[in-house]
Amino acid sequence: MRDSRVELMADVLVDYSCEVKANDLVSIRGAYAAEPLMLELYRRCLERGAHPILRPSLPRAAPLLYRMAQDHQLEFVWEPERWFIENLDVEYSIIADTNTRQLSKIDPARQVLAAKARKPLFDRRMERGASGEFRWNVTLFPTEAIAMDAEMSLEEYEDFFYGACFVDREDPVAEWKKVAEQHVRMVDWIEGRKEVHLEGEGTDLHLDITDRVFIPADGTANFPDGEIFTGPVETETRGVVSFTYPAIYGGQAVEGIRLEFEGGKVVDARANRNEDFLLKTLDTDAGARILGELGIGTNFGITSFTGEILLDEKIGGTVHLAVGASYPETGGVNQSAVHWDMVCDLRRGGRITVDGDPLVEDGKLLV
């Protein structure tokens, strides 16, 4: 049975998020479970005269690769992958896990090796995205596994997810334009300021944003969306931050993360669970211990932790930090094969001030 919300979502993704036009080269990637959304995107791209290609995947192949491949196989990059990075106009990546923990027992060093080999592709993708010659979007198709992580039934999760995307509204695009207007006000208020101070339980962190650009995320690169973000000055972060929720990266969940910064770098890292994975990931390369992103969540339709960072980093009244690569369009220059988002919930006694003026208090936006 077709879900009309999937069709509405495809309309928004094609016409608003990525503005697909005639002759665009469009890649549509996702696990086979996302077939309904992939086909709706494919249909609309064809209708608009673009050249879409479907790139479905088999999720169980990834564990096989990491368990069985020799080092030279993990480091191998197919030439078609390089071609896609250099030539695509639009790429849709759809999260549709049927088992969200299938990589949890994989040696993290194996994933680090593969990530290092693909860093040039990652860097080039970021460059093309920052220049505007490449449009990309990461979204999600609800599955039983993702719903289970959020402690919901699939039907409950679908209602929650499509609500966060505004596709249950009369005019979803108009709703995203309202978000964009709010973001403009926030970015205008922050422009020209120098220091962000995060305070909360186990958190007292100072970040320098001098001459950095805050980017409003209004449903274009992520869907659902709802944040403003920048790349902090790489050498100035100082203090400590404790992350409220498990941080999931490469199929591994790390709980109770506490990071201490001096001179912009992580000088002490601890976790209550899976600390070894945390430390190995931070040692991936020289940039992995430096913050590449500061983001402030503004989507108040996402109210609780789900275990999927695409949504969790957007929770209204939270802040997320990413160790590793910066987005060049923010003015950030940190380079790394890693970009790992971690969420700090400030809705109970936390605050964000910018040059001493309050921006967020107890999870409420004051601008």
In a domain, 278, yes or no: yes
Q: CB count, 10 Å around CB of 274?
A: 19
For 17, the token pair is 């998020």
Looking at the structure, do residues 186 and 274 belong to the same domain, yes or no?
yes
Looking at the structure, do residues 138 and 34 belong to the same domain, yes or no?
yes
pTM: 0.93
Q: How far apart are CA 278 and CA 253, in angstroms?
A: 9
Q: Tell me the three state secondary structure of residue 72.
A: helix
**CATH code of the domain covering residue 72:** 3.40.1830.10
Angle separating helix axes 119-131 and 79-87, nearest 10 degrees: 10
In a domain, 28, yes or no: yes
Q: How far apart are CA 126 and CA 99, in angstroms?
A: 28
In a domain, 228, yes or no: yes
Query: Does residue 158 contact residue 5 with C-beta atoms inside 8 Å?
Result: yes
Looking at the structure, do residues 159 and 201 belong to the same domain, yes or no?
no
pLDDT digits (tens, 9 = 90+) for 330-351: 999 999 999 999 999 999 899 9
For 4, the token pair is 């009309």
Looking at the structure, do residues 313 and 210 belong to the same domain, yes or no?
yes
Q: Tell me the three state secondary structure of residue 4.
A: helix
Give yes or no for residue 2 having a pLDDT over 90.
Answer: no
Q: How far apart are CA 118 and CA 239, in angstroms?
A: 32
In a domain, 177, yes or no: no
List b or e across 183-219, with b for residues whose CB sees 16 or more CB atoms inside 10 angstroms.
beebbeebeebebbbbebeebebebbbeebbbbbbbb
Could you tell me the residue range of the domain that residue 336 belongs to?
182-365
Looking at the structure, do residues 199 and 346 belong to the same domain, yes or no?
yes
pLDDT digits (tens, 9 = 90+) for 17-72: 999 999 999 999 999 999 999 999 999 999 999 999 999 999 999 999 999 999 99
For 268, the token pair is 């002490």
Looking at the structure, do residues 141 and 278 belong to the same domain, yes or no?
no
Looking at the structure, do residues 271 and 230 belong to the same domain, yes or no?
yes
In a domain, 174, yes or no: no
Q: Tell me the three state secondary structure of residue 320.
A: strand
pLDDT digits (tens, 9 = 90+) for 274-301: 999 999 999 999 999 999 999 999 999 9
In a domain, 175, yes or no: no
Looking at the structure, do residues 157 and 196 belong to the same domain, yes or no?
no
In a domain, 170, yes or no: no
Looking at the structure, do residues 158 and 282 belong to the same domain, yes or no?
no
Looking at the structure, do residues 211 and 313 belong to the same domain, yes or no?
yes
Can you give the pLDDT at residue 1?
Answer: 64
Domain count, the chain: 2
For 94, the token pair is 């759809």
Look at the block and give the residue holding tokens 């289970």: 148
Pairing of strands 227-230, 135-140: unpaired
Q: How far apart are CA 207 and CA 260, in angstroms?
A: 13
Cα angle 169-171-173, degrees, rounded to a multiple of 5: 110
Higher pLDDT, 109 or 17: 17
Looking at the structure, do residues 328 and 217 belong to the same domain, yes or no?
yes
For 153, the token pair is 């039934």
Looking at the structure, do residues 272 and 145 belong to the same domain, yes or no?
no
Query: Does residue 355 contact residue 195 with C-beta atoms inside 8 Å?
Result: yes
> From the DSSP assignment, how many helices (H) and strands (E) are in the chain?
12, 20
In a domain, 169, yes or no: no
Q: How far apart are CA 10 and CA 300, in angstroms?
A: 22
Q: How far apart are CA 93 and CA 38, in angstroms?
A: 10
In this prediction, what percent of the chain has a pLDDT beyond 90?
97
Please choose, from the candidates 54, 51, 58, the residue with its C-alpha nearest in 3D space to the C-alpha of residue 40.
54
